[in-house]
Amino acid sequence: MPRGGVPRIGIAGIHGHGATHVVEALRLEGLGRARLIAVADHRAPESPVGEAAVFADAAAMIADADLDVVVLSTPIHTHVPLARAALEAGAHVLLEKPPAPSLAELAELDEVARRAGRSVQVGFQSLGSSAVGAVRDLVAGGAIGAVRAYGALGTWVRPVDYWTRSAWAGRRELDGVPVVDGAVTNPLAHAVATALAVAGARTADDIADIELDLLRANDIAADDTSSLVVRLADGRTIAGALALTASVRSEPCVTVEGESGRIVLWYTLDVVQVVRDGEPFPATTRHPRASLLENLIDHAVDEVPLLVPLAATAAFTRVLDAVRTGPDPRRIAAEHVARVRDDAAEHLVVRDLEHWAARVVAEQATFSAVGAPFAR
Ligand SMILES: NC(=O)c1ccc[n+]([C@@H]2O[C@H](COP(=O)([O-])OP(=O)(O)OC[C@H]3O[C@@H](n4cnc5c(N)ncnc54)[C@H](O)[C@@H]3O)[C@@H](O)[C@H]2O)c1
């Protein structure tokens, strides 16, 4: 594509999360920054797609639409083959998270991109926020003293029918192909990826080992009530409590515990709070967030560096690999689970989840290790 040209965008997977990409592409089209040339989904569009041609399948769109940028918001197990096709057709790719179902396939895709001279941006939108850099600057500037540990805390609600919305939902594999859906690797993957970014872990070798304690309340193969402790190569740890079985949705966060205080990054809000020991109130700041699609267009047109290049997601993919190759999640005994019907529809609630999740982060130990009754 010539420098200063207007990139031709195609989006595959326009329902579900992909609808947000269509809105963003149309915004960029309105600014004259890009053109939404094509969309692809097995289901016809239900919202405006501008003047885009409509394809029934991503592969056909990639082959026929002569695109500079392809957005892939399709199910996890389609990511690598479709991204490969898009790169080989000469397009840059915005690939939804998790980018690949294994470290080996992530490396393979990176190699395809290198050979094609094209780039892959991964849809971890919280990593497009300058809040992550702000937290790292605060830590480097000594705002909370030496770092003791990192945390990732997410307690969300998902209705029972979330797990039946698509054939791949809640699956560890589908027809023998790894899918690796589940709390750690999909809905709360942003918490894991953001904690790793705050801790400066990008490559697989930045992680020394991973202890997983994966549980499930729903009738699924994947995890919905999960804890993990990631030990980094420098010895520090990130403890995560990530669950879709809370009674109410709480705002998820990444924490940095220091010798003289704590930083909390509310990563969906781009808000950072610094709580210094001895001070009664946190200092709160809000930070701008860049659009990952706009950044990819700037990269395609003017070689601006990517915010979330594929290679920077290797540490996250190492965690995903541990989930993929680890034991199946254990079922939580019925006595610890309530079936609730409220505004959030019918959903399963694990008793005292929030209490035990907070302990996981505070004690840097899994649900089992802190003694959560539902993990016995
Ligand atoms: N970044 C985020 O915050 C975020 C949030 C939710 C989901 N996601 C990711 O987005 C991706 C999609 O998730 P979802 O929950 O929207 O899934 P979904 O199953 O609800 O929607 C996927 C869409 O892709 C379509 N599709 C499937 N195969 C296709 C193909 N070969 N060609 C064209 N269209 C095809 C389906 O018809 C469907 O409309 C996943 O990777 C998921 O992890 C990201």
Instruction: Kindly state the tokens that stand for 154.
Output: 């997410």
Ligand 1 neighbour 42 (Cβ under 6 A): yes
pLDDT of residue 1: 61
> Is residue 80 within 8 Å of residue 18, measured between CB atoms?
no
Mark whether 152 and 94 lie in a shared domain: no
Grouping H, G, I as helix, E, B as strand and the rest as coil, residue 257 is strand
Is 150 part of any domain? yes
Task: Tell me which DSSP letter residue 309 carries.
Answer: B
pLDDT of residue 4: 58
Ligand 1 neighbour 15 (Cβ under 6 A): yes
Is 303 part of any domain? no
Ligand 1 neighbour 159 (Cβ under 6 A): no
Task: For residues 164 and 158, give the distance between their C-alpha atoms in angstroms, rounded to a whole number.
Answer: 11
The enclosing domain of 16 has a CATH number of 3.40.50.720
Mark whether 169 and 241 lie in a shared domain: yes
Is 305 part of any domain? no
Task: For residues 312 and 371, give the distance between their C-alpha atoms in angstroms, rounded to a whole number.
Answer: 34
Task: For residues 197 and 265, give the distance between their C-alpha atoms in angstroms, rounded to a whole number.
Answer: 12
Is 295 part of any domain? no
Mark whether 199 and 321 lie in a shared domain: yes
Is 111 part of any domain? yes
Is 300 part of any domain? no
Task: For residues 171 and 177, give the distance between their C-alpha atoms in angstroms, rounded to a whole number.
Answer: 10
pLDDT of residue 218: 98
| Cα 166 to middle of ligand 1, angstroms | 9
Instruction: Kindly state the tokens that stand for 12.
Output: 């595959």
Mark whether 162 and 227 lie in a shared domain: yes
| Cα 132 to middle of ligand 1, angstroms | 26
Extract the runs of DSSP E, i.e. beta strands, from 300-366. 330-331, 337-342, 345-350
Number of separate domains in the chain: 2
Grouping H, G, I as helix, E, B as strand and the rest as coil, residue 276 is strand
Ligand 1 neighbour 45 (Cβ under 6 A): no
Ligand 1 neighbour 17 (Cβ under 6 A): yes
Mark whether 111 and 46 lie in a shared domain: yes
Residue 29 CB neighbours (<10 A): 18
pLDDT of residue 343: 83
Residue whose entry in the numeric block shows the structure tokens 């399709």: 74
Query: pTM higher than 0.95, yes or no?
Result: yes
Mutate which of 22, 24, 39, 73 to test ligand 1's pocket (most atoms within 8 Å of Cβ)? Answer: 73
Mark whether 89 and 111 lie in a shared domain: yes
**Residue having the nearest C-alpha atom to atom 27 of ligand 1:** 74
Grouping H, G, I as helix, E, B as strand and the rest as coil, residue 164 is helix
Residue 259 CB neighbours (<10 A): 11
Q: Which parts of the chain register pLDDT below 70?
A: 1-4
How does pLDDT run across 164-197, given as a tens digit for each residue? 999 999 999 999 999 999 999 999 999 999 999 9
Ligand 1 neighbour 97 (Cβ under 6 A): yes
Q: How far lies 259's CA from each of 106, 291, 328, in Å?
A: 37, 35, 37
Instruction: Kindly state the tokens that stand for 136.
Output: 């790292």
The enclosing domain of 369 has a CATH number of 3.30.360.10
Task: Tell me which DSSP letter residue 326 carries.
Answer: S
> Is residue 180 within 8 Å of residue 87, measured between CB atoms?
no
Q: Which of 90, 125, 160 is the last residue of a domain?
A: 125
Q: Which domain holds residue 204?
A: 130-289+311-375
Ligand 1 neighbour 185 (Cβ under 6 A): no
Mark whether 74 and 163 lie in a shared domain: no
> Is residue 137 within 8 Å of residue 198, measured between CB atoms?
no
Mark whether 118 and 265 lie in a shared domain: no
Is 299 part of any domain? no
Ramachandran area for residue 57 (φ above 0: left; ψ -120 to 50: alpha; else beta): beta
Q: Which of 125, 150, 185 is the last residue of a domain?
A: 125
Q: Which of 67, 94, 125 is the last residue of a domain?
A: 125
Mark whether 191 and 234 lie in a shared domain: yes
